[in-house]
Copies of this chain bind each other. A is one copy, B any other.
Amino acid sequence: MSERDAPGTREKLLMAAFEEIHLHGFQGLRIDRLLEKTGLTKGAFYHHFKSKKALGYAVVDEVIARMIHDLWLEPLQQSADPIDTIGTALSRKTDILGEDFVVLGCPLNNLAQEMSPVDEGFRQKLQTIFEGWVREIGAALAEGQKQGIIRSDIDPAEAALFVVASFEGAFSLAKNAQSVRALEIGERQLLRYLETLRP
């Protein structure tokens, strides 16, 4: 148990920063509060991160990107039926994340809404994540078309974007209403839409 643990300290700052950003947004993130929360000091922080913005970028690259990957992209990889996979991915959200998490909004979309007009670097990083997300769903739908379990007259890329858009929209409404209800309704109606993609 060494007192000095560079990778551990960095990770602690990253995770605490993710929580604080989820709670207050990036601009609402206070370095002092972060240090109080982690029990660290300015010296430690600025040793690991060049600036507050650099911390934000790291949260996007290392925390949020991985989260989307684990919850959405990974399950879609080995999937027989994309519609089923999306359906279970959707319904699992509320269970895994919990109501307290949900009413804070989607971390990806929160940051995108807040920072994309303010900082081009944030925007590009977040856009990359969105694009990858849509691309993978689109690919899964296209694969479904090949297998004949999805109608051939729909555009997989457009349908994929709609899935992400609807999900994020319902998440937004849930956040503002401070209730998971909107997200649940959104999921139900989104599944209804997805079923219309079957032959």
Q: Could you tell me which A residues sit within 8 Å of B by CB distance?
A: 23-25, 27-28, 104-105, 109-110, 112-114, 116-118, 123, 126-127, 130, 158-159, 161-162, 164-170, 172-173, 175-178, 182, 185-186, 188-190, 192-193, 196
Q: A-side binding surface: helix, strand, loop or mixed?
A: helix
Question: What chain B residues lie within 8 Å of A167 (beta carbons)?
Answer: 169
Q: Would you call B166 and A162 a contact (CB within 8 A)?
A: yes
Give Cα distance in the complex from A17 to B61, angstroms.
34
Is the pair A173, B182 in contact by a Cβ cutoff of 8 Å? no
Question: Please, which residues of chain B bring their CB within 8 A of the CB of A109?
Answer: 113, 172
B176 touching A126, Cβ below 8 Å: yes
Q: List 16 A-B contacts (CB under 8 A).
A: A25-B118, A27-B28, A28-B118, A105-B113, A113-B113, A113-B176, A123-B176, A127-B177, A161-B185, A167-B169, A168-B169, A168-B172, A169-B169, A189-B193, A193-B196, A196-B196
Give the Cβ gap from A20 to chain B, nearest Cβ, in Å: 12
Q: Are B172 and A112 in contact (CB under 8 A)?
A: yes
Asked if B169 and A164 sit within 8 Å, CB to CB, the answer is yes
List, in ascending order, chain B residues with CB within 8 A of A161's CB: 170, 173, 182, 185-186, 189
Rounded to whole angstroms, the CA-CA distance of A175 and B24 in the bound complex is 21
Task: Give every chain B residue within 8 A of A173 (Cβ-Cβ).
Answer: 130, 161, 164-165, 168
- Chain B, residue nearest A122 (CB): B176
Q: Pick the most buried of A27, A169, A172: most chain B CB atoms within 10 A of its CB.
A: A169
